[in-house]
Structure 1
Amino acid sequence: MTTTTPERPGVGTHLFRIVGFLVCVEIASGILQGYYTPIFSDIADHLDIADADVNWFEAAQLIVSALCVPLLARLGDLIGHRNVLLISTAITALGSWILAFAPSFTTFLIGWAIQGAYVVWLPLEVAIIHRRTADTGRQGLLTRRAAAILVGALELAVIIGALTSGALVESTSMTVLLSLPAIAVTVCFVVIWFGIEDLPGRSEGGIDWIGFTLITGALGVLMAGLIVVRLEGPGSILAWLLVVGGLVLVVPFVRAERRIAEPLIDVDLIATRAQWPVQLTAFLFGMSVLGAQIPLSTFARTDPDTVGYGLGADAGFVSTLIGVYVVSLAIGAFTLPLTSRTLTARGALIASSVLVAIGYALWIPFHDTTTQALINMGVAGIGSGALVAALPAAAAAAAPPDRTGFATGMTNATKTVGGAIASSIFAIALASTGSLGDPTEGHAPLSGYLTVWAVCSVAALCAAVALLAVPKTAFGD
């Protein structure tokens, strides 16, 4: 007796078509991730805020993303990953259009936070591909290859976004400039609607609103503590009480999740030996790949003749720096199948984490010239590109079939939590120390940037150590 797999009509061409449409989605994602970075200083001027305060945009977006990713990933397992991809794209488009017409810091902050729904795109795409390669005998391999292609397209689109905004910032209004990524996301919605088939979810049950409420409260209290540190300084007793309170609230959350049949976050699955190092790596990796973006941009834009450090680059040249960095990200992503075959999937993750640690460590002594910056970013970029592609694929390979959406989504959720916490810490470290009449007013101290690079390097090194706990044969077919 033979069995059929109706989900896989003509696996080769079918998969090729799906990956092709998903590449379009990642192009829109790349535009979002690259477009704003060269013009953060211009956005700060537009909103009349200091450079360090721009970090709060990133912190707000990342914390909202961290909350919505497990919720949307769970919803994907329930109602279908393509349907949730459409929902998250619509939310992202709304946030992008708000940015284009935001009249104030508060409105821009709201739009930026809503736009963070795009972070669930790649995990959902990996889950779509992972499901459609079932029973091929090469599910893990095909998923890794497809993920590498998607991330490669993402990184190339980051270059396009960065170069476009850098070229247009001086020649058009901020409203027109910020409308272009909104248009790209709107087109992306249409592509998903017509290009990706709708398959029903494979999981049963409902949404764990108790868990969602508890984790929202824990993250909200923790972030409130970090905000109070920013406003009142590290000597504030209230700030540290809030930070500790946020961490303590994780305990009842874990207990509640273990009692629920269909939890929002399957803590027992995450606790397995093949999952927890991957999720911890995603958290630590988020500190650099997400939290350090704005500090790198503002450091490059800082005039060394005025402040005594920085690269003195304009938006156009920052776009070029980002382009070189993203090429290294694409190299890391595209070479993932080769490095995984040579070092094993586990070894490739460890090596990539070490490269990220080395790249950011190089920033500490070498940050005076653009050549040094390019070398540092290139080393970190190769490792980062590989991790972006490898983490969701590794999580999917180590998860049961009805939990692939959750597992891949959690890599982005933990990554965004790490980025949100890092962004808040970096905003504190980079807080301006200038005074009235001081030519450095509004600029961060160099010690703040050194702190940023040190934290990113140590975090990546800790990730490499954590990955040693993964079984050597994990993530294979």
Structure 2
Amino acid sequence: MQRAVPPPTRRAPSLLGIIGFLVFVEFVSGFLQGFYDPLQKLFATHHGVSDADITWFQTIQGLSAAISVPLLAKFGDMFGHRRILRITMVLVTAGALLSALAPTFELLLASRVMMGPLAVWLPLEIAIIHHRLNRDDARRSIGILVSILTIGAIVGTIAGGVATSLVGFTTALFVPVVLLLLACYAVFFRIPASSGGVRTRIDGLGLAGLAVIMVLLLSGMNVLAKSGLADIRAWLLIGASAAVLVPWIVWERRIESPAVNLRLLASRSLAPLYVSGFMFGFVMFGFQTPFITFSASDPSKDGYGLGMPTLTVSLAVAFFTLLTAIGAITFTAASHRMSMKATLVCGAGLAASGFIFFAMVHDAPWTVFAFAIPTGLGMGLLMGALPALIAEYAPDTDTGIAAGVYNSLRTLGGSIAGALFAIILSIALTSNEGTEAGYTIIWSVCAVLFLASTAALAFGKYSLSTSPEFGSTPTGTVPQAPTSITLNEGHTS
């Protein structure tokens, strides 16, 4: 079975032609993820549901993403990444329109299910870039994409509140629809195809098993975060997830064309990247809420916190986000001055040093900004480098699913962190040590995880070209024309 490639006479597209519209699409993705969060209370009021019910607004989209990302990423490898990106773009646009028009809460939840696949956009875009650009341009472009995703989320968060105050709640909900229609134009008419796809047998059982594992585990973590350790439902869900995981691993190791190549994940080149991705997601998605609540809490009233006004907290978050974006964009330049391994280790080490500092010193507002400098830059280096390297070291036939698994591991890490940190704070609240001790434990846990990530990345083996261990071709190269073409997305979609 042969991989489809562009005709050897086709002129390579420019860097701007590859990433220009992908940047806009990823900005829209971030915008959507930030836009709806501040509006959850308004959705609850509009549909007449309780605060407990509206938690499903985010939960059900997360579960939809957990199911759809591995499946759609694998389909991108098989049928063409741009084709799947187009399909999901239409689905998410329809979901955003339904959320604006939904007359009932049930239809609102259905719209959130439809919007779950937006999480697969970045893995698909990474695959498109990987197949079209040389190594350095691909790394640089992926760094730009992940930084724009973060910036888009900040802009979306601000825009949600501003648009609602200017034009009203129901009208404001059409803002994401307009942006999505523009993104549809980009995907259908401006974004180039990846080099193609490979039709292999679909491992339906493997994909279904992975979806069940993710849903059960994420549901269990969600129950833990809300109800604590004593809720038996959480442990039943987590136990069921483990029960499905064991036979799933056996199946994936035995089948010829698995949904997830476990041998690939366990390689010395990729295993440290996936482990670090999990720990990165754990910290990135887990520490944000405790960080904001601690910064805004008044020590004279609450007994802990920094007493920072809302504007100052917002500036601190924006400062952290800016540094993260800078780190993501500049990791390629850093890897030229150092080795790639040194860049990865430096990123994890910087982040660890920031959390160590904040665990020890957090008694004045200036400590927040001092913490943000090494932590933001370090996490930015990892945020750009990890997905770029995973795309490089994965076989060309598995680029999408490799990036999709990385995305899912980050999400899983964030869910576990949310549950664990909620439990830590609830225990600290009732203990003699006080709530501040709980926050100190959280910063310490984050520091330990980044130290562990530093060790894992130092163990990895990263050469200047893609790993020959799995027979992948160097990023951006065009092999000789095949005698037959199975599927060429550049011509058929």
TM interval, shorter chain, is 0.7 to 0.9
Residues 67 and 215 in structure 2, CA contact (< 8 A), matched pair in contact too: no
Q: Does 1:424 align with 2:419?
A: yes
Deviation for aligned residue 1:466: 1.4
Match of 1:187 among 182, 189, 197: 182
Distance 2:437 2:97 in 1: 36
How many residues get paired?
A: 458
Question: 1:354 corresponds to which residue?
Answer: 349
Distance 2:301 2:172 in 1: 28
Deviation for aligned residue 1:9: 3.6
Deviation for aligned residue 1:399: 1.6
Q: TM-score, normalised by structure 1?
A: 0.82
Question: 2:459 corresponds to which residue?
Answer: 469
Distance 1:65 1:388 in 2: 20
- Equivalent positions of 1:244-263 (< 5 A) are 244-263=239-258
With over 3 angstroms needed to count, the CA separation of the structure-2 counterparts of 1:305 and 1:95, relative to structure 1, is farther
Question: 1:119 corresponds to which residue?
Answer: 119
Query: What whole-Å deviation, never above 9, does each CA across 1:370-425 have from its counterpart, x for those lacking one?
Result: 43223323332212222222112101211222122222222212112212222333
Question: 2:477 corresponds to which residue?
Answer: none
Residues 274 and 474 in structure 1, CA contact (< 8 A), matched pair in contact too: no
> After the TM superposition, which of the residue ranges 156-165 and 205-214 deviates more from structure 2?
156-165
Distance 1:87 1:318 in 2: 39
Distance 1:398 1:278 in 2: 10
Query: What whole-Å deviation, never above 9, does each CA across 1:35-87 have from its counterpart, x for those lacking one?
Result: 4567778888987638xx99876555444323322111111111111111122
The one-letter code of the counterpart of 1:185 is: L
Residues 66 and 214 in structure 2, CA contact (< 8 A), matched pair in contact too: no
Deviation for aligned residue 1:360: 3.2
Deviation for aligned residue 1:296: 3.6
> After the TM superposition, which of the residue ranges 328-337 and 23-32 deviates more from structure 2?
23-32
Query: What whole-Å deviation, never above 9, does each CA across 1:189-246 have from its counterpart, x for those lacking one?
Result: 2211111234573222243221122223323333343344456532455543542442
Distance 1:177 1:361 in 2: 42
The one-letter code of the counterpart of 1:120 is: V
The one-letter code of the counterpart of 2:139 is: R
Deviation for aligned residue 1:278: 1.0
Question: 2:266 corresponds to which residue?
Answer: 271
Question: 1:6 corresponds to which residue?
Answer: 7
The percent identity for this pair of structures is 34
Question: 1:438 corresponds to which residue?
Answer: none
Query: What whole-Å deviation, never above 9, does each CA across 1:238-291 have from its counterpart, x for those lacking one?
Result: 543542442242111111112222221111211211111111111111112223
Distance 1:106 1:307 in 2: 38
Residues 26 and 150 in structure 1, CA contact (< 8 A), matched pair in contact too: yes
Deviation for aligned residue 1:346: 2.1
Question: 2:128 corresponds to which residue?
Answer: 128
- Equivalent positions of 1:318-333 (< 5 A) are 318-333=313-328
Superposed CA RMSD in Å reads 3.6
> After the TM superposition, which of the residue ranges 362-371 and 16-25 deviates more from structure 2?
362-371
> After the TM superposition, which of the residue ranges 354-363 and 166-175 deviates more from structure 2?
166-175
> After the TM superposition, which of the residue ranges 151-160 and 397-406 deviates more from structure 2?
151-160
Distance 2:373 2:163 in 1: 26
Residues 76 and 201 in structure 1, CA contact (< 8 A), matched pair in contact too: no
In structure 1, stretches of 5+ residues that fail to align are: 134-138, 436-443
> After the TM superposition, which of the residue ranges 96-105 and 466-475 deviates more from structure 2?
96-105
With over 3 angstroms needed to count, the CA separation of the structure-2 counterparts of 1:332 and 1:59, relative to structure 1, is farther
Distance 1:452 1:103 in 2: 41
Residues 335 and 386 in structure 1, CA contact (< 8 A), matched pair in contact too: yes
Deviation for aligned residue 1:359: 2.8
Q: Does 1:26 align with 2:21?
A: no
Question: 2:450 corresponds to which residue?
Answer: 460
Question: 1:439 corresponds to which residue?
Answer: none
Residues 222 and 415 in structure 2, CA contact (< 8 A), matched pair in contact too: no
- Residue aligned with 2:339, SS: helix
- Equivalent positions of 1:63-142 (< 5 A) are 63-97=63-97, 100=100, 111-112=111-112, 114-133=114-133, 139-142=134-137
The one-letter code of the counterpart of 1:85 is: L
- Residue aligned with 1:335, SS: helix
Deviation for aligned residue 1:453: 3.1
Question: 1:291 corresponds to which residue?
Answer: 286
Distance 1:76 1:356 in 2: 33
